[in-house]
Structure 1
């Protein structure tokens, strides 16, 4: 499925109070690989930027002079997102702003426009309960270099989030495959039954076991603790 890593920067915290999007960034990912296709826009908000927000992202109204207003780029953004699965850190924030902006120009909300929305903040809280799960914290946890991130910027945050998402979802690649089998003499729609031979079980050798332990050590380091597979491998306690 086509996925879009998405982030926005805004004039403030609440679109219901008239705050607007001033930066949009989206990176396309297909098959867990960035394709190089992206959309990055600066947008004039037609209003002032809150000082607290400007301290976070560093974008001034003077910088945005001459940039297009949202109505001029709304269709471009909607077309880029259409039918994709969105990956967003703290999705309710960005989706809320996009919905408010789309409504102003008569476009459908995000949930109707896109196939799905994944909130990496919610997923991180499930994976690491009780720990800090900001984008910075997750980059530190997975040892992702964020030295180029001095301020919050939509494009650099998308690049970091793409790496965080891949770390968080390692091992979740689909094992399902659609296979067309050409059997001589078979007719269309014919129910074919194949005799299954007993599966051969080949135990891992010492080198493979050592490689497995090294991989678990790397996972322990990434989560700064003991990964779930350590708990599964630990012998069950005996009674008495």
Structure 2
């Protein structure tokens, strides 16, 4: 079964290109569209100040992060958790940009070389499903009736948990497909092998059915001005 990681981050700002850094990471594991109970939640010392504007969004201060590990100290833990999995991210370009930047700083491979690629972007999915509608996490929780009143601040693990519910709601019809693709249990295969096999039943068209079929083909051929392909491919009648 496909192993998926629903992932979210919090950062010091909006642009890693201008020196903003990762400060929180939340990951929730799904296998076969079901929670496994495994998750990864890390706070990371960004080695820089957290601006007041960012604190207003997620509530994570410079002082709180002062004794937290740096990304280089937890990179193995993160990579081991996501390796070989398909990532599900809300606005994937943002989170992937920050994570790839952090991986680059410590001279590690980018996510596309670690995980199944490309990542699933639930913002893009939402915009395709609901054109012209808001696609942020709060709006999608409201649309699908997912309780999020406890979300006073953005938080990586909290938002990843909510995104699990949003993603499952958005892809609900895939459950039956996954069931159909699962291999049959050994007991079912054994029962099928033991079932007695009789001769195949042959059903032949009656003379009346053949005549009616020929009449329909002739009408189609006449309506097309004799351009039907199958007439030209019919074998010559032998005497």
Per the shorter chain, which TM-score range?
A: 0.7 to 0.9
What secondary structure, in the 3-state scheme, does the structure 2 residue paired with 1:103 have? helix
CA distance in 2, matches of 1:177, 1:195: 28
CA distance in 2, matches of 1:177, 1:99: 34
CA deviation profile, 1:74-133 (whole Å, cap 9, x unmatched): 111111110001111000000000000001112111111001310000000000000001
CA distance in 1, matches of 2:53, 2:63: 16
Please show how residues 151-230 of structure 1 align to structure 2 within 5 Å.
Answer: 151-173=153-175, 174=178, 175-179=180-184, 181=189, 183=193
Please show how residues 59-98 of structure 1 align to structure 2 within 5 Å.
Answer: 59-98=60-99
Task: Give the structure with higher Rg (CA).
Answer: 2
Unaligned runs of 5+ in 1: 185-193, 199-240
CA deviation profile, 1:22-70 (whole Å, cap 9, x unmatched): 0001011111111111110111000111222111111000011110011
What secondary structure, in the 3-state scheme, does the structure 2 residue paired with 1:9 have? strand
Residue 34, structure 1, aligned to residue 22, structure 2: no
CA deviation profile, 1:151-196 (whole Å, cap 9, x unmatched): 0001110111000000000011222233475647xxxxxxxxx959
Cα RMSD over matched residues?
1.9
Match of residue 118 from structure 1: 120
TM-score (norm 1): 0.75
CA distance in 2, matches of 1:4, 1:168: 16
TM-score (norm 2): 0.75
Unaligned runs of 5+ in 2: 204-239
CA distance in 2, matches of 1:121, 1:196: 53
The total of aligned residue pairs comes to 189
CA distance in 2, matches of 1:196, 1:15: 69
What secondary structure, in the 3-state scheme, does the structure 2 residue paired with 1:53 have? helix
Match of residue 221 from structure 2: none
What secondary structure, in the 3-state scheme, does the structure 2 residue paired with 1:62 have? helix
Distance 1:195 1:20, change over 3 A: farther
What secondary structure, in the 3-state scheme, does the structure 2 residue paired with 1:76 have? helix
